[in-house]
Structure 1
């Protein structure tokens, strides 16, 4: 009896259950937890996206990583199921736009700027 309860408790299954979950049923091990650092990264990106993203020194002090690494991680995090359900579509889209800009990815259909603002319009005339 002790072995069964110990195994069930170790696996995270309810102690009153005498059976293991059927194949295909989720077990506690199949759920992924969102870490505090992941939550803080996405929250920082959400707060700062209106201003072009968080300052590089803030990212370095809080997470010990550079700006490009931060934005790559944020892009990976907000594409997961857990964060898709926590962010509005508007916030997620805006965060993606800012993060892509910091890592050098331009939106589809828009040419990358290579010079100062307005330089492209001078060549059109």
Structure 2
């Protein structure tokens, strides 16, 4: 996992108990929309062995938040 992916995952972990990171924080920190951010989070969760050290409940919570963003229509 590269440094940017680690930073993304850390932001997702910090905000997971509160329903996910705020769109403004995602934009300022990573320069992307929440949908793109959470698509990256989903990829990280599915393809990176390092996340297996996280508690399963935390991985599941982050995955649920990411799935919610992927099903929301894009705002115009």
Please say which structure displays the higher CA radius of gyration.
Answer: 1
Q: Which runs of 5+ in 2 are unaligned?
A: none
Would the alpha carbon gap of residues 81 and 37 (structure 1) be closer, same or farther in structure 2, given more than 3 Å must change?
Answer: closer
Say which structure, 1 or 2, has more relative contact order (CA 8 Å, 6+ apart). 2
What is aligned with 1:77?
44
**Displacement of 1:50 after TM fit?**
1.1
Distance 1:35 1:64 in 2: 17
Would the alpha carbon gap of residues 63 and 90 (structure 1) be closer, same or farther in structure 2, given more than 3 Å must change?
Answer: same
What is aligned with 2:24?
57
**Displacement of 1:81 after TM fit?**
3.6
Q: Which runs of 5+ in 1 are unaligned?
A: 1-33, 106-125
Give a deviation string over 1:8-59, Cα, whole Å, max 9, x none: xxxxxxxxxxxxxxxxxxxxxxxxxx11110010111011011110000100
What is aligned with 1:68?
35
- Give the structure-1-normalised TM-score: 0.54
- Give the structure-2-normalised TM-score: 0.86
- RMSD over aligned Cα atoms: 1.4
Runs of 4+ in 1 over 3 A off after TM superposition: none
